[in-house]
Amino acid sequence: MDGLITNEFAYWNPHDPLAKKSSDWQMTSGSLFAKSGTFWTGVPDSCYNDQANPNPHSGNCTDSDVFRLNTAKKFSGDIGVSLRLKQLDEIHNTACNNGDTCWYGTHIWLRYQSEFNLYYVSVNRADGDVVIKRKVPCGTDNSGTYFVLGKYVKHDFKTGSWNTYTATAQTNHDGSVTIKLYDDNYSTATPIDTGTDHGGTNPHWSASCKTPGRYTSATYQPITATGAVGIRGDYAEFEFTNFKVYAL
């Protein structure tokens, strides 16, 4: 059935009888709709015209310019996440470096602890690259700091066409964590990007940092704890389907 599945109103107002809650998904920003058998962002906006947030049914706005969706369930051990993804609007921008907007697009979350502590894989970006990153609490980017784990790899997508991606997270014998990204339309055996988190030092950490989940020092470790998975979107309208989580 088409229509709203859940939205940020439900997350921030869980006891409101009008809230559209989902047993499968949590949404800290934006709106998630069902559309002809797929999941859909709705037409993204930032709740303009003095609309601060979506109402219970996202009838006034979607706020999906900043789309933040994670599973309610948490997963342990080594896992893979696969999905089919279609970028609906044209986000390619050859001049994106000028405005620092190359990260606009769609991304997959792995071992999500919070919005400040996670792995993510950018698959459809404005610059046509893919990249694997780690975010840790404390910093200047939404109260966190990003670290590139893989390389920026040119692997473009076609607007309006379906792509099938798989992202995996695996803990190694030395405690490090390796993230791999596959484009299943090309190869299910050879990743298009790989990155390994050995932990490190966050130069933006300080004793005065109040970010939830902050580490007790500037040193941070790889994420080996149970965590959610999910999808992030930035100023991009898209659909996705066949979302699967499985053990490696």
Residue partners of 141: CB distance under 8 A and separation at least 6: 135
CATH code, 208: 2.60.120.200
Q: Which pLDDT belongs to residue 50?
A: 61
**Three-state SS annotation for 76-107:** CCCEEEEEEEEECCCCCCCCHHHHCCCCCEEE
Q: What is the pLDDT of residue 52?
A: 81
Residues 126 and 44 placed together within one structural domain of the fold = no
Looking at the structure, tell me whether residues 109 and 227 fall in a common domain: yes
Does 85 have pLDDT greater than 80? yes
**Residue 218 belongs to what domain range?**
73-247
- Cα 104 to chain center, whole Å? 12
130-179 pLDDT, tens digit each: 999 999 999 999 999 999 998 999 999 999 999 999 999 999 999 999 99
The count of domains in the chain is 2
Same domain, yes or no: 11 and 125:
no
Domain check: are 179 and 58 in the same one? no
Tokens at residue 186, please?
Answer: 């090309």
Question: Do 6 and 112 fall into the same domain?
Answer: no
Percent of the chain with pLDDT over 70: 99
- Is there a single domain that holds both residue 111 and residue 43? no
Q: What is the pTM of this model?
A: 0.95
* pLDDT tens-place string over residues 97-116: 999 999 999 999 999 999 99
Q: Is the pLDDT of residue 15 over 80?
A: yes
pLDDT of 119 > 90? The answer is yes
Query: Do 88 and 133 share a domain, yes or no?
Result: yes
Of 49, 67, 85, the position where a domain reaches its end is 67
One domain, residues 131 and 243: yes
* 57, 78: one domain: no
Number of alpha helices (DSSP H) and beta strands (DSSP E) in the chain: 2, 18
- DSSP 3-state assignment of 217? coil
pLDDT in tens, 190-235: 999 999 999 999 999 999 999 999 999 999 999 999 999 999 999 9
Q: Are 45 and 62 in contact (CB under 8 A)?
A: yes
Q: Which of 42, 67, 92 lies at the terminal end of a domain, its last residue?
A: 67
Q: What is the pLDDT of residue 233?
A: 98
Above 90 in pLDDT, residue 34? yes
Residues 39-51: tens digit of each pLDDT: 999 999 999 766 7
In terms of domains, do 122 and 194 share one? yes
Last residue of a domain, one of 67, 91, 108: 67
Cα separation values, 84 from 124, 154, 240, Å: 12, 19, 5
Residues 96, 42 share a domain: no
pLDDT at 147: 98
CA distance 119 to 116: 10
Residues 169 and 117 in one domain: yes
Average pLDDT, the chain: 97
Tens digits of residue pLDDT in 225-243: 999 999 999 999 999 999 9
List the beta bridge partners of residue 197: 177
H or E segment to which residue 10 belongs: helix 8-12
